[in-house]
Structure 1
Amino acid sequence: MLEEISIKNFAIIEELTVSFENGLTVLSGETGAGKSIIIDAIGLLIGGRGSAEYVRHGEKRAEMEGLFRLEDNHPAVEKLEAAGIEIEDDMVVLRRDITHQGKSICRINGKLVTLAVLRETGHSLVDIHGQHEHQDLMHAERHQQMLDRFGKTELEEALEDYQKRYHRFDQLQAKLKQLKESDQETANRLDFIQYQLQEIEAAGLQPGEDEDLEKERHILANSEKLFEAIRGAYDHLYGEGKALDWAGMAVSSVEEAAEIDTDLGGLSESVSSAYYMMEEATFTLRDKADSMAFNPERLNEVENRLDELNKLKRKYGDSVEDILVYASKIEEEIDSLANKEERIAEYEQALSQAADELIAEAKTLTDLRRQAGHALAGSVQQELQALYMEKATMEVQISPLGRGKSYQTEEGETWVFNEKGADKIEFLISANAGEPLKPLAKVASGGEISRIMLALKTILSGFQHVTSLIFDEVDTGVSGRVAQAIAEKIHLVSRGSQVLCITHLPQVAAMADSHLYIQKEEKAERVQTIVTPLTADYKIDEIARMISGVEVTALTRENATELLQMAEKAKSNV
């Protein structure tokens, strides 16, 4: 559940901390007091689209921080642990700052994360339903996601299997299309890469050749200086009165000392070894100096070869190894293009097999969706009856896709796929007896849409695993007994999940387990939002205000008290 949220410098909110309880929490207050602004802040906290416009005028950044408590088996736990985010005492803290320049800074339990990670985590914790959700319900493309969610694990696994085969089918179809490009383009490409391969092969490249040549060029270009250094070292070591001569005398002296003091035997051996190593190095220097000769022709050869390699590098890679890798790549492409018809036949066979497997998975997915659609329609109708839409009927229409990746089987049957399957899914409803089933957008009024949305959310909330559900004025357009039914339905949902609800309906407010009153006041010529938890007496006054709309009277207080008593009775009967 969402235990607490802190908001600072967000819209008209200067600084605000709100604690929430389990069950149903109602947020009420005058229009414009800031109720929806608090929900907007929660929406941004869980990864909603940010903007510099949210930052309070004159401030550098808006800050939002929320504390959530999770159950051990919550889906977010595994995701966070995979991202290297530690969870202590089953608590998760989300934080998001938005600067006046529009930049977002996101953290989870103090660790910086991307907005995508914050959004993925946040959407598994909170589900917000507002007026825009009603609009989503009108769009058929959203219906498939709702149906798949209702289908639970079996449908999710079938969709995952389907998508693996779809990606394989898509790759093969793209490759086959590439192979079937026009003959002229293929011929031009073949000529071009054959020329490139011949040029690379003619160079006779050897791995590491460029590095070896660079080293050799450096030595050849400095051969005179190198000779003088080697010859100088030899002259200092060899000859009468030179280093080697003195070292030999040192060996003799140490050997004589070791004959007197046997403890110096090890030292004598070390000095002797050093002498012989120095002697060997001296002769090596002599041989190296004798064998050296300045060879300008070889230097020219190396320079020319390096120039040739550099020209190839500018065309095909940064090193000889890169050039050889490129040559191998175009050699495979040449083989593919030169044997185009054979390759096309191979890919057509592979595509046919992939399509058969994809069609089989698509059929399985469609069958499962039909079963889930039948069950969902029945559940929605049952929920709508409790919301005084007794004559409403619903059907989940599943038909073939009209747009997507198409494929024609050998039998002449045409299939159209996308990443979600081969199905076009749309919810059809008849709100009243005798009316034909039609798409939601064409038959439902505002009040009916509110009830249909609530019915769907009541059913789907059991499969979402979110810690908190937020209803932002989803009871718009209803009154009377329908309002009471919606109030009871929202409270029923709160039995299984924390629910926060912005409402103007006294029936919904009366069902609340806790009630927060939102108001705005002017301080230092600036407007700010204040949240006050209502006690029993103040709750009566607020519900009375919601009933009367203008002036609270003794009669409206009596009505509010009666409404609260009825609400308590309704709760106890659930």
Structure 2
Amino acid sequence: MLLNLHVKNLALIEEADVYFDEGLNILTGETGAGKSIIIGSINIALGGKVPKDIVGKHGDSAFVELIFQIDNSSEKELLRKMEIELEDEQIILSRKITNGRSVAKINGESVPASKLKEVAEVLIDIHGQHDHQSLLHKSKHLEILDEYAKNDIVSIKSKLQHKYASYIELRQKLDKFSVNEEERIRELSFLEYEVEEIQEANLLPDEDKQLEIQYQKMTYGKKILEAANTIYNQTGYDNPHAAGDLIGKALRELNSIVNYDTELESMEEQLETIESLLNDFNRDIADYMSRMEFGEHDFNETEKRLNLINHLKSKYGDSISEIIQSKTQKEERIEELKNHDILLKKYREELETLQEDLQIESEKLTEVRKRYAKKLMLEIQDSLKELNFIDIQFDTVFEKMDHFTKNGNDIMEFMISTNPGEDLKPLAKIASGGEMSRVMLAIKSVLAENDNIQTLIFDEIDTGISGRTAQMVSEKMAVLGKAHQIICITHLPQIAAMADTHFCIEKESLNHMTSTKIKKLEKDQAVKELARILGGAEITETTIRSAKEMKELAERTKKG
């Protein structure tokens, strides 16, 4: 579960530390107080998109950190497969935003934002204010069903996706074969010319690098030889002012006096070493100059070879290995073009076999989906009844696409009837945002019971509902909170009253700066916050009493 949210200098939040509890965590506050910033900060820490101008006015960077406690064995296993090591059964996700760039970390180790998203799918499920709109799209319906049935379809889908990848690769090969005879002959002729051009070059591995070094030496050969000759003369023995000659004279002088003072013996040894080293150096520089001798012909041949290799690079790759690889690919294509009819027949037969395999796997997938769909529809229907859909019918309609995808060839759509005697209609036909929100809550509730995700976040799931429906939604949230950690932003007192832990989000102005604060409420403070939601700007004794009664009723409901 999510233990802690730490936010620093994000939008209106200067700094906040929120310690969440088990069960139902409720967040309330005035409109515009910054409730959405809290969910937004969690999304950012989970690898979501970073909005522009998100860094606040209290520094140059923003920081968000989430600490999760991992007690669930299946969560631990999934994280282990992602090579995530837990520390004291905890995982820390963080993100720092500076100058429009972000640095993501898991347990202090930098990772791509995509890795945060991957880990987030194991730890938490967020239902945002507008997520219910995704139910307008059929593709979301199939995604929900597959999530529900994942334990039984994961192996089928894996096999199907492998077959589909082979199918697409073969289709692409066949597309290359869709050329007429004239185009085939023209392409064949051109490829043979290119292969011959590369073959005639007789390229050797790393030949270009060695030629570059050689060419560099030849280009600056005169300057190098002049400098080397000067060095040779200055360190040799032919010139009376050269280092070798002068050191030789110094050594002879030292030899003539060393017998008079033993302290000079070590100096004599040092000077002998220096002379020996200088002598070796002088021979090495002389040898280097002898090897540097080359003619105009050598220079021209080296330049010509380099020009050829660079020409081939401009056409076939940035290195000799890439040129050789290009040649291999062209030779393979030449074989394809020469054996066009034979390969065309072979690929068509392989494609037909793959299509048959895809059909078999897709049918297996459809069979499992339909079996789970019946069970899922009954569970969602029961869940919807608990959310004040009295005479509800919920079902699915399956259709087939005329082509395959990596997820088979099913089209599945949720169908619903909310009134007795009314025909089932596509879910997208429901106009009310409140109804769509409740349908999504029902779906999330069912999936949560069949999933290992411990933490669920609902951002204003109560949009468009009130009265008895609001009470039933609150009871549903309380039931969910018994098996999961729920973090819920709400503006309805019925839901707020069910809180196991209640947080209040407030906007505060100080020194011409506006900031958002979040604090955990004690029992009496929670009652006052309920009274504010019930009564608006003016809190009276009557609203206080109503708030206390609502809180007591909620406590009895949770116990019952």
TM band (smaller chain): 0.7 to 0.9
* SS in structure 2 of the partner of residue 466 of structure 1: coil
Q: Deviations over 1:156-193 (max 9, x none)?
A: 22212211111111111111111113444322211111
Q: Does the CA-based 8 Å contact 1:10-1:54 persist in structure 2?
A: yes
Q: Does the CA-based 8 Å contact 1:380-1:459 persist in structure 2?
A: yes
- Does 2:504 match 1:517? yes
Q: How does 1:411-426 map to 2 (within 5 A)?
A: 415-426=402-413
Higher mean C-alpha deviation, range 2-11 or range 321-330: 321-330
2:441 to 454, 464, 471: 454
Q: How does 1:547-562 map to 2 (within 5 A)?
A: 547-562=534-549
1:506 to 482, 488, 493: 493
- 1:478 matched residue in structure 2: 465
Alpha-carbon separation, structure 1, partners of 2:501 and 2:389: 29
Alpha-carbon separation, structure 1, partners of 2:166 and 2:101: 39
Alpha-carbon separation, structure 1, partners of 2:322 and 2:54: 51
Alpha-carbon separation, structure 2, partners of 1:52 and 1:219: 54
Alpha-carbon separation, structure 1, partners of 2:460 and 2:216: 79
Letter in 1 for 2:442: A
Letter in 2 for 1:489: K
Q: Does the CA-based 8 Å contact 1:162-1:362 persist in structure 2?
A: yes
Letter in 2 for 1:73: S
Q: How does 1:209-248 map to 2 (within 5 A)?
A: none
Higher mean C-alpha deviation, range 35-44 or range 294-303: 294-303
Q: CA 1:201–1:378 in structure 2 vs 1: closer, same or farther (change >3 Å)?
A: same
- 1:340 matched residue in structure 2: 340
2:175 to 177, 184, 188: 177
* SS in structure 2 of the partner of residue 131 of structure 1: coil
- 2:266 matched residue in structure 1: none
1:108 to 106, 109, 116: 106
Q: Deviations over 1:218-238 (max 9, x none)?
A: 99999xx9xxx9xxxxxxxxx
Unaligned 5+ segments in structure 2 are 230-286
Q: Does the CA-based 8 Å contact 1:220-1:295 persist in structure 2?
A: no
Deviation at 1:313, TM superposition (A): 5.3
Alpha-carbon separation, structure 2, partners of 1:210 and 1:55: 50
1:465 to 452, 456, 463: 452
Alpha-carbon separation, structure 2, partners of 1:294 and 1:26: 85
- 2:260 matched residue in structure 1: none
Q: CA 1:219–1:501 in structure 2 vs 1: closer, same or farther (change >3 Å)?
A: closer
Q: CA 1:150–1:97 in structure 2 vs 1: closer, same or farther (change >3 Å)?
A: same
Q: Does the CA-based 8 Å contact 2:75-2:123 persist in structure 1?
A: no
Higher mean C-alpha deviation, range 67-76 or range 150-159: 67-76
Q: CA 1:207–1:544 in structure 2 vs 1: closer, same or farther (change >3 Å)?
A: closer
* SS in structure 1 of the partner of residue 450 of structure 2: helix
Q: How does 1:234-383 map to 2 (within 5 A)?
A: 312=312, 315-316=315-316, 323-383=323-383
Q: Does the CA-based 8 Å contact 1:152-1:463 persist in structure 2?
A: no
Q: CA 1:530–1:346 in structure 2 vs 1: closer, same or farther (change >3 Å)?
A: same
* SS in structure 2 of the partner of residue 53 of structure 1: coil
Letter in 2 for 1:86: E
- 1:195 matched residue in structure 2: 193
Alpha-carbon separation, structure 1, partners of 2:300 and 2:538: 103
Q: Deviations over 1:70-129 (max 9, x none)?
A: 12524366446644x432111111111222x32111111111111111121123222111
Deviation at 1:152, TM superposition (A): 2.7
Letter in 2 for 1:149: E
- 1:528 matched residue in structure 2: 515
Q: Does the CA-based 8 Å contact 1:393-1:430 persist in structure 2?
A: yes
Unaligned 5+ segments in structure 1 are 230-284, 402-414
Alpha-carbon separation, structure 1, partners of 2:299 and 2:119: 65
Deviation at 1:422, TM superposition (A): 0.4
Letter in 2 for 1:93: I
Deviation at 1:447, TM superposition (A): 2.3
Deviation at 1:57, TM superposition (A): 3.5
Q: CA 1:551–1:356 in structure 2 vs 1: closer, same or farther (change >3 Å)?
A: same
Alpha-carbon separation, structure 1, partners of 2:334 and 2:136: 52
- 1:14 matched residue in structure 2: 14
Deviation at 1:518, TM superposition (A): 1.7
Q: Does the CA-based 8 Å contact 1:506-1:543 persist in structure 2?
A: yes
Letter in 1 for 2:378: G
Deviation at 1:320, TM superposition (A): 6.0
2:156 to 155, 158, 163: 158
Letter in 1 for 2:124: V
Alpha-carbon separation, structure 2, partners of 1:198 and 1:65: 60
Letter in 1 for 2:465: V
Deviation at 1:545, TM superposition (A): 2.3
- 1:132 matched residue in structure 2: 130
Q: Does the CA-based 8 Å contact 1:377-1:395 persist in structure 2?
A: yes
1:119 to 93, 117, 120: 117
- 2:387 matched residue in structure 1: 387
TM-score (norm 1): 0.78
Deviation at 1:492, TM superposition (A): 0.8
Q: CA 1:212–1:86 in structure 2 vs 1: closer, same or farther (change >3 Å)?
A: closer
Alpha-carbon separation, structure 1, partners of 2:97 and 2:209: 51
- 1:98 matched residue in structure 2: 97
- 1:33 matched residue in structure 2: 33
Higher mean C-alpha deviation, range 514-523 or range 462-471: 462-471
Deviation at 1:302, TM superposition (A): 7.7
* SS in structure 1 of the partner of residue 56 of structure 2: coil
Q: Does the CA-based 8 Å contact 1:138-1:440 persist in structure 2?
A: yes
* SS in structure 1 of the partner of residue 130 of structure 2: helix
- Does 2:496 match 1:497? no
Q: Does the CA-based 8 Å contact 1:21-1:514 persist in structure 2?
A: yes
Q: Does the CA-based 8 Å contact 2:9-2:58 persist in structure 1?
A: no
1:438 to 397, 401, 425: 425
Letter in 2 for 1:458: S
* SS in structure 2 of the partner of residue 487 of structure 1: helix
- 1:273 matched residue in structure 2: none
Aligned-residue Cα RMSD (Å) equals 3.1
Letter in 1 for 2:102: S
Percent of pairs identical after alignment? 38
Letter in 2 for 1:89: D
Higher mean C-alpha deviation, range 312-321 or range 88-97: 312-321
Alpha-carbon separation, structure 1, partners of 2:507 and 2:209: 74
Q: CA 1:382–1:296 in structure 2 vs 1: closer, same or farther (change >3 Å)?
A: closer
- 1:24 matched residue in structure 2: 24
Deviation at 1:502, TM superposition (A): 1.2
* SS in structure 2 of the partner of residue 47 of structure 1: coil
- 2:234 matched residue in structure 1: none
Alpha-carbon separation, structure 2, partners of 1:138 and 1:431: 17
Alpha-carbon separation, structure 2, partners of 1:307 and 1:81: 51
Alpha-carbon separation, structure 1, partners of 2:406 and 2:29: 45
Deviation at 1:294, TM superposition (A): 9.9
Q: Does the CA-based 8 Å contact 2:133-2:436 persist in structure 1?
A: no
Q: Deviations over 1:397-423 (max 9, x none)?
A: 22112xxxxxxxxxxxxx411222201
Q: CA 1:215–1:493 in structure 2 vs 1: closer, same or farther (change >3 Å)?
A: closer
